Amino acid sequence: MGWKIAVAVGLALSQAAVAAPPDSPNPALAPWFESLKQPGTGASCCSIADCRTVEFRQDRDGYEVLIDDRWKMSAPFWLRVPPNRIIDRTDNPTNRAVVCFTPEAGILCFVRPAES
């Protein structure tokens, strides 16, 4: 049982070490980012440290997001959004697509931009 706790703490610390606040974060948006919950589990998607506005594209199979150097990746790449990670919210205050991502866990949540 003790080893499970040690592994969980190690994973949490390793993810915290990778996450870094975005450049010029808007503190007024922090409560919205912190309110994001993973579909199906209700677990927190992330904090503002893991979430970024992103370029996205949509095709008949769903969505893809551009993961770039803001997550300390060596080269940008398009990543398919798993359907079970899409949050169906209409209150996105950024007016852009938002993805919560860590290199270790992948996409935790995706929020489409607000429709105009």
| Residue 29: C-alpha distances to residues 14, 22, 67, 68, 92 (Å) | 25, 12, 21, 22, 10
Q: What are 86-101's pLDDT values in tens digits?
A: 999 999 999 999 999 9
- Region 49-67: mean pLDDT is 93
Q: Are strands 62-67 and 86-87 parallel, antiparallel or unpaired?
A: unpaired
Residue-level pLDDT at 49? 61
- Whole-angstrom Cα distance, residue 89 to residue 102? 21
pTM check: above 0.85: no
Cα(94)–Cα(92) distance, rounded to whole angstroms? 6
Domain boundaries, the chain: 2-111
**Cross-strand pairs, 58:** 63
Cα 70 to its chain centre, rounded Å, is 12
